[in-house]
Amino acid sequence: MKEFLVEITTTVPEGTDSAEVSRRRAEEAARAEELAAAGHLVRLWRPVGELRSIGVWRADSEADLHEKVLGTLPLWPWMTGVVTALEPHPNDPGSTGGRTLVSSTTAQEAILRGVMDRWKSAVDAHEPQRVASCFTEDAVFQGLRPYTVGRQGVAEYYDSQPLGLTADYEVLQTRQLAEDVLLGYLGVDFSFTDRPTLEVTLSVVLRRVADQWRIAHYQVSRLG
């Protein structure tokens, strides 16, 4: 994906109900998290004392940036934006030989949390097919039984889990392995209705496929 510097100024129309403003701002925050998880929103700053933002965004083209990224922001109808296409500079101290990496630990964690929040939501709701949709089609999955490959094995594994199972996770470490590959290391507590909580560590490798981050490798290790 290409990178763009985007300067945005938001102007709320006169007479807009405060409840509408609050609703849109809440939806804006949620959408920004989704775009960060998908790799579109890389960094965002607010100049001191000013009601505007400056950010680095990614999209396949400037047209896609406007239509598929910025245009999906709930506040976009109230925004004016200045877009500048970026390219690598040979003297950039953060250059990676032409590759674009998510160098910020905060950005890496946002991507990881975006995927794992979807995973947790589906696990807690006991929806095996939705859990499986968080994985790539060729994902290697290692739970607490022999490994499987592909979404069907993931769905069958979670379908066999007891109702009432919930998962709570803590991000421990992230590492970017390549432009579209991210490693996450987490602590996870699986809670049950009829037995003690199971504490495990979880390693996941995320891969960006068709602009969507999914789990390509999942491996659980029991503590103790």
pLDDT in tens, 111-126: 899 899 999 999 999 9
Give me the CATH number covering residue 191. 3.10.450.50
- Residue 136 φ/ψ, nearest 5 degrees: -70, 160
pLDDT tens sequence across 2-39:
899 999 999 999 999 999 999 999 999 999 988 988 88
Give which of 199, 66, 184, 27 is closest to 114, Cα–Cα. Answer: 184
Question: pTM for the whole thing?
Answer: 0.58
Domain that residue 64 falls in? 2-85
Q: Same structural domain for residues 126 and 38?
A: no
Asked if residue 187 is part of any domain, the answer here is yes
- Domain co-membership, 28 together with 68: yes
pLDDT tens digits for 86-106? 887 777 665 544 444 444 577
pLDDT tens for 177-199 read 887 899 999 999 999 999 999 99
Q: Which of 55, 85, 115 is the last residue of a domain?
A: 85
39 torsion bin: left (phi>0), alpha (psi -120 to 50), beta (else): left
pLDDT of residue 93: 62
